[in-house]
Structure 1
Amino acid sequence: CANILLDLLFIIGLEMNSTGAAIASTISEYLALILGLWATRKPLSQAIRRGLKQSLQQGPTIRRLAKNNFEIFVRTASLLFSLSFFTAQGASQGATTLAANAILMQLVMAAAYGMDGFAHAAEALAGRAFADSDRQRFIAVCRCCGRWALYSAIAASLLLLVAETPLLDTMTDLPDVRSAASEYYNWLIILPLASAACYCYDGIFIGALRTKALQYCMLVSVFGLYLPIWYTSQSWGNHGLWFAFTCLNIARGVTLALCFVWIFSPSRWQNILR
């Protein structure tokens, strides 16, 4: 809320444009930090006092947590690299293409919120079932969250399909940018369906702490498929870039699905709990 109000103040009220947006975001982040520290001031101080003692007592657990966090870090860094690479390649094709891609990517992120919600639900519910060694409940949770993630993807694609003109008119009033965004808009309609599986599997694997699979699936998808596909489709221009990005999301879902079948098979279930 603070970010929105500050955006209105700095961008519209004070006409500071992108500088105002940056200032608003910075103030909002620090405000969130201050509020978070204030809300957790007592538990935080107690945790600091107990932290060293517990770290010494729970060395193996701390090491495993650090290992899981590092694998998630590698996975997230690879994902951020793929997004930064996408932006850089769009920029190399001109300011209009860069602006059009930025608008479409914002709509991609907005469409992902519904699927992300079920991914977070899968993270918590599947993680609890996995910790309880209840494979039947674990599989039921995965199927339910996967089904609703797919429903969200279908709804997002349909909404994007019927709302192209009002969405683009809302995002920009520049005719050239709107025209360029419309040219590549069909990729936006495809992406929610292409991404539903990878979002849901992300939550499942994080909840079950199978972070090594997440790490390697992302590395294979980004460096084994995304970059080679982009390289071979450069003659398609920006369409080739969007094609490579769509393939990246499909590859993430397919590789994680294969890992899911292998890791969580009945024959391996008891072994991975040890």
Structure 2
Amino acid sequence: MQIALPTALALTADPIASLIDTAFIGHIGPVELAAVGVSIAVFNQVSKIAIFPLVSVTTSFVAEEDATKSLSIEADDSGVLEMGYAVNQEMELEDLVPQVESTCKSSLIPSSYRKTDVRRQIPSASAALVIGSVLGIIQALFLIFAAKPILNYMGVESNSPMLKPAQQYLTLRSLGAPAVLLSLAMQGVFRGFKDTKTPLFAILVGDVANIILDPIFIFILRMGVSGAAIAHVISQYLISLMLLWRLIKEVDLLPPSINDLQIGRFLKNGSMLLVRVIAVTFCVTIAASLAARQGSTSMAAFQVCLQIWLATSLLADGLAVAGQVGLVLGLVLSAVLVVVLQFAPRLFTADVNVLQLIGVGIPFVAVTQPINALAFIFDGINYGASDFAYSAYSMVLVSLMSILCLFILSSSHGFIGLWIALSIYMSLRTFAGFWRIGTGMGPWRFLRD
């Protein structure tokens, strides 16, 4: 729980920040709320394509590299002790320890892991920062120059009142993409060190800054949705700077050579996770696009429900992967949301029509929490078994089936059809994860014995 709880809180911090943005923007008007909803959906889904493989692979590689080199040092220490006693068994321990430390600091510790001012040298950490920075810049340029056609694809037509505020918000928030990817890469490094408190602290400081800046930029300076985007970007760069300052104290970020970065290893191992994330991203993006095509009222309501759904689901995700307590948490979240969300919607908007649709989506947000938690539990177990290929291909199949349900149910049942389809989507994810383990296939063959 010491590792899992800070991780879970850190995972939910950004969706909560987006939820706070949504609450402030909702009081500008329903059109602005809907516009920002589309923009946030686009930004989040594009980010996830890079974020999940980057963070997961970084955490794994850093943990592996740090543990391997630490064990190597411990083995060297043990060898020196045995050698010292063999030379002179009557040597006092206090006389031996300085000799051991002197030897360990010289030839026995691998040069690639010698500490400089107590800093570790982890090439995987350096590689993660390089890749995160490059991906962030690419994402920013892509979203800035392609904002209008992407929004058109999402259902925001050229004559729609949502287009101008949506384009403003997406363009400005895209400036923070390098900070987002860089900070998430550094979070992966800290998690590899089993340090989940440092990222949590930085994220909380950034989110508090976002909460303070939102009303200043939106209402006092009268910048509207642009002010919300600028506040969010400032908070992301603040998080990145705090993490970088802390990381520089622990890690020597200059690797011995370019070859030590092992960029190819990152790309190879991240490819399977990338396939999976694209499948998940495409499914949720299609849902947001279909909501936008139903009009600003439907999109505004969908945005509020989706942000609540994502925030609570990611809390279950963070705990389930590390602690396997997700099912209990899912039931608790479900009960809490049923009660709290009866009164919470007015925090986001005063529009009667939007409130009515939010009331339709709330039961689905609440009831699916245990299902979501189970899905994340099985995802975590399969990741632990390195069953990445099955995770990727099964998610592609699940997404294709869910997208078909989205088109059929949204056309026949409108807004409620979207949430029925998303509930089916999470149920299929749960079944796919359980089926692999329950049938004893792949790395689970031993269960049949």
TM over 0.5: yes
CA distance in 2, matches of 1:15, 1:103: 23
Q: Is the 8 A contact 1:119 1:204 kept in 2?
A: no
Question: Match for residue 367 of structure 2?
Answer: 190
Q: Is the 8 A contact 1:115 1:196 kept in 2?
A: yes
Residue 161, structure 1, aligned to residue 323, structure 2: no
Displacement of 1:174 after TM fit?
1.5
Question: Match for residue 23 of structure 1?
Answer: 230
CA distance in 1, matches of 2:391, 2:444: 17
Moved more, 227-236 or 241-250: 227-236
Letter of the 2:442 partner, please give it. Answer: I
Letter of the 2:340 partner, please give it. Answer: A
SS of match in other structure, 1:229: helix
Question: Match for residue 247 of structure 1?
Answer: 424
Alpha-carbon displacement from aligned partner over 1:64-107 (angstroms, at most 9, x marks no partner)? x5333111112112212112111110011111010001111111
Question: Match for residue 405 of structure 2?
Answer: 229
CA distance in 1, matches of 2:319, 2:302: 26
Q: Is the 8 A contact 2:217 2:228 kept in 1?
A: yes
Moved more, 226-235 or 41-50: 41-50
Moved more, 177-186 or 4-13: 4-13
Alpha-carbon displacement from aligned partner over 1:219-240 (angstroms, at most 9, x marks no partner)? 01101x1012223322111222
Displacement of 1:12 after TM fit?
3.9
Displacement of 1:44 after TM fit?
5.1
CA distance in 2, matches of 1:183, 1:113: 22
Letter of the 1:187 partner, please give it. Answer: F
Gap change, CA 1:217 and 1:70, over 3 Å in 2: same
CA distance in 2, matches of 1:203, 1:267: 19
CA distance in 2, matches of 1:9, 1:205: 45
CA distance in 2, matches of 1:49, 1:42: 18
Stretches (4+) displaced over 4 A: 42-47
Residue 121, structure 1, aligned to residue 298, structure 2: no
Match of 1:101 among 292, 302, 305: 302
Letter of the 2:360 partner, please give it. Answer: E
Displacement of 1:264 after TM fit?
4.2
Gap change, CA 1:114 and 1:34, over 3 Å in 2: closer
SS of match in other structure, 2:318: helix
Q: Is the 8 A contact 2:287 2:406 kept in 1?
A: no
Gap change, CA 1:203 and 1:17, over 3 Å in 2: farther
Gap change, CA 1:181 and 1:54, over 3 Å in 2: closer
Q: Is the 8 A contact 2:375 2:429 kept in 1?
A: yes
Match of 2:287 among 71, 74, 86: 86
Displacement of 1:10 after TM fit?
1.6
TM-score (norm 1): 0.78
Question: Match for residue 259 of structure 2?
Answer: 52
CA distance in 2, matches of 1:49, 1:7: 43
Question: Match for residue 212 of structure 2?
Answer: 5
CA distance in 1, matches of 2:229, 2:435: 41
Unaligned runs of 5+ in 1: 123-144
Provide the alpha-carbon RMSD of the alignment: 2.5
CA distance in 1, matches of 2:310, 2:269: 26
Question: Match for residue 313 of structure 2?
Answer: 112
CA distance in 1, matches of 2:209, 2:382: 33
Q: Is the 8 A contact 1:68 1:211 kept in 2?
A: no
Displacement of 1:200 after TM fit?
1.5
Alpha-carbon displacement from aligned partner over 1:190-213 (angstroms, at most 9, x marks no partner)? 221221211122222333322212
Question: Match for residue 205 of structure 1?
Answer: 382
Moved more, 86-95 or 171-180: 171-180
Letter of the 2:352 partner, please give it. Answer: P
Question: Match for residue 32 of structure 1?
Answer: 239
SS of match in other structure, 2:370: helix
Displacement of 1:50 after TM fit?
4.9
Gap change, CA 1:268 and 1:150, over 3 Å in 2: closer
Letter of the 1:263 partner, please give it. Answer: G
Unaligned runs of 5+ in 2: 1-207
Gap change, CA 1:181 and 1:49, over 3 Å in 2: same
Alpha-carbon displacement from aligned partner over 1:5-28 (angstroms, at most 9, x marks no partner)? 222332243232211111111122
TM-score (norm 2): 0.49
Gap change, CA 1:96 and 1:198, over 3 Å in 2: same
Gap change, CA 1:269 and 1:121, over 3 Å in 2: farther
The structure showing larger relative contact order (alpha-carbon pairs under 8 Å, at least 6 residues apart) is 2
Gap change, CA 1:70 and 1:47, over 3 Å in 2: farther
Displacement of 1:49 after TM fit?
2.3
Gap change, CA 1:226 and 1:267, over 3 Å in 2: same
Q: Is the 8 A contact 2:218 2:227 kept in 1?
A: yes
SS of match in other structure, 1:73: helix
CA distance in 2, matches of 1:47, 1:207: 31
Identical aligned residues as a percent: 25
Gap change, CA 1:38 and 1:49, over 3 Å in 2: farther
Residue 256, structure 1, aligned to residue 441, structure 2: no
Displacement of 1:152 after TM fit?
1.1
Question: Match for residue 125 of structure 1?
Answer: none
Q: Is the 8 A contact 1:68 1:209 kept in 2?
A: no
Q: Is the 8 A contact 1:205 1:214 kept in 2?
A: yes
Between Structure 1 and Structure 2, the one with more helix by share is 1
Gap change, CA 1:180 and 1:190, over 3 Å in 2: same
